[in-house]
Amino acid sequence: MANKDYSIRQLVEMAACTNCQICADVCPAVSASLDGELSAIYRIKGLSEILKSRTGLFRKLIGKKGLSEEQWKHFSDTVFRCTLCGNCQEVCPVGIHLRDVWLSLRHDMVHSKFYPKKIDMIQANLKESRNVFAEDNEERADWVEDMRDAPEHGYIKDQAEIVYFTGCVAAYFPLAQKIPMALAEILDVGKVDFTLLGEEEWCCGFPMLGAGLKEMFKEFMDHNLEAVREKGARRIIFACPSCYQMWREYYPSEFEIVHASQFIMELVKEKRLPLQELPMTVTYHDPCDLGRGARVYEEPREVIRSIPGVKLVEFTQNRENCQCCGGGGNLEMIDANLSAEIAKRKIEDARSTGAQAIITSCQQCVRTMTTYVKRNKVPIEVLDITQLVQRALKK
């Protein structure tokens, strides 16, 4: 156990915390659980104690002992019951990069051997199957077979201008597979030359960082980069904000990357998508990684407003203040009840807008909110922005 999992910047930033507790006020896990120990302020205080207890000189001077095994387990439990939504970072008055701290802290917990056992499952799945769900990676593009007019090549070409990087959730979950189907149809209508990577697409790496398994990432990154190079592509499209954010922050800037909402807006402006009237009132949920993470707020709203007949009403908390849906940070695997409680609050907020449907730009958000809506028979629809546009396409 050592402090090397943290950068110098992170160590300096943590010392700058003023204990203002604003982060606790906006934390979705705290609001849903009413447990203050899930807050950023609690985690920062606990981490500061851990860092001090590991410093030899500090220990000798004041006789500071390390945490007991029970204290380690309790602290680790709070570390992994977090959606990594970044709202605490957004409101931090001293500008601490808290989301990066949480990723380093999870890495530390794994090194210290105090982490949820589900992490071992995530690691085994990624090693064996190259995806987080232990599915056959050769079946990563099987969703194409469920499309009505799929081409014979199944969207897997030897060469193409653009690669559509599907992501693990959309590739394997039936509920989320509607999103790549919708985007593929949109790209077809827009006459876009694109290809999938198929079985050559491996996990983007976010589940590894979220699980504290940073050492695994480079192999996956190198493989994905080479797979895109072999297609001769110059751009990569992502419908998954976490995949987009990983390539944006952790991959080298070798390719032009774009989120699906941004690319669809390009097609709309170029008048390559014939859109018919769609009488609906909708509200838009900003995915954490796309909104606070990548600062993509306007393009999805422009797409929604470009559809005739669609009326957009906003959540009370939107854009950088948007509340998490409960689907991030591997939380659903670690604490499914807490994830569902966060989703409940999100759905209740959506219903207060009077919208018929929640539109988002994230397959995990769609899956988390739809799961809650279906289980509790809530009369509201949840759609990805690709599905909304697909519905509006003139047939």
From CA 368, how far away is CA 327, in angstroms rounded? 6
Q: Give the CATH number of domain 274-392.
A: 3.40.50.11810
CATH number listed for the domain at residues 8-115: 1.10.1060
Q: What are phi and psi of 97, to 5 degrees?
A: -80, 75
Query: Is-same-fold flag (119-266; 274-392)?
Result: yes
Nearest 10 degrees: CA dihedral of 135, 139, 145, 146?
10
Phi first, then psi, for residue 266 (nearest 5°) are -60, -45
Q: What is the rounded distance in angstroms from the CA atom of residue 352 to the CA atom of residue 310? A: 18
CA dist., res. 73 & res. 115, Å (int): 7
Query: Could you list the pLDDT tens digit for every one of the 395 residues in the chain?
Result: 457 889 999 989 988 999 999 999 999 999 999 999 999 999 999 998 888 877 755 455 545 566 788 888 999 999 999 999 999 999 999 999 999 999 999 999 999 999 999 999 999 999 999 999 999 999 999 999 999 888 999 999 999 999 999 999 999 999 999 999 999 999 999 999 999 999 999 999 999 999 999 999 999 999 999 999 999 999 999 999 999 999 999 999 999 999 999 999 999 999 999 999 999 999 999 999 999 999 999 999 999 999 999 999 999 999 999 999 999 999 998 999 999 999 999 999 999 999 999 999 999 999 999 999 999 999 999 999 999 999 999 87
C-alpha of 386 from chain center: 17
Q: Which two tokens stand for residue 114?
A: 């105090």
Query: Residue 391 CA to chain centroid, in angstroms?
Result: 25
**Max Cα separation, the chain?**
76
Nearest alpha-carbon partner for 185 in 237, 149, 233: 149
- The two tokens of residue 386 are 């690709």
Phi, psi angle pair for 92, to nearest 5°: -60, 120
| pTM score, whole prediction | 0.92
Walk across the sheet containing 194-195 and list its strands: 194-195, 162-165, 235-238, 256-259
- pLDDT value, residue 4: 80
* Both structure tokens of 321: 């203040």
Looking at residue 71, what is its pLDDT? 86
Place of tokens 């090693």: 127
Residue 360 one-letter amino acid: T
pLDDT of 394 reads: 87
Q: For residues 158 and 169, what is the distance between their CA atoms, to the nearest angstrom?
A: 24
State how far the Cα of 104 lies from the Cα of 58, in Å rounded to an integer.
22
β-strand pairing of 381-384 with 357-360 = parallel
Q: What is the pLDDT of residue 1?
A: 47
pLDDT at res. 2: 58
Q: What is the CA radius of gyration of the chain?
A: 22
CATH second-level architecture of 119-266?
Answer: 3-Layer(aba) Sandwich (3.40)
Please check whether residue 72 is in contact with residue 1, taking contact to mean a CB–CB distance below 8 angstroms.
no
Domain boundaries, the chain: 8-115, 119-266, 274-392
Residue 68 confidence (pLDDT): 81
Q: Where are the alpha helices (DSSP H) in the chain?
A: 8-15, 22-26, 28-33, 40-53, 56-62, 69-80, 87-91, 98-111, 118-129, 168-172, 178-189, 206-211, 217-230, 241-249, 260-269, 298-305, 331-334, 336-351, 363-375, 385-392
Q: How far apart are CA 244 and CA 363, in angstroms?
A: 12
Nearest 5°: the CA angle 141, 343, 170 is 5
Contacts of 101 (CB under 8 A, 6+ apart): 6, 10, 13, 14, 44, 47
**Strand bridging mode 162-165 / 235-238:** parallel
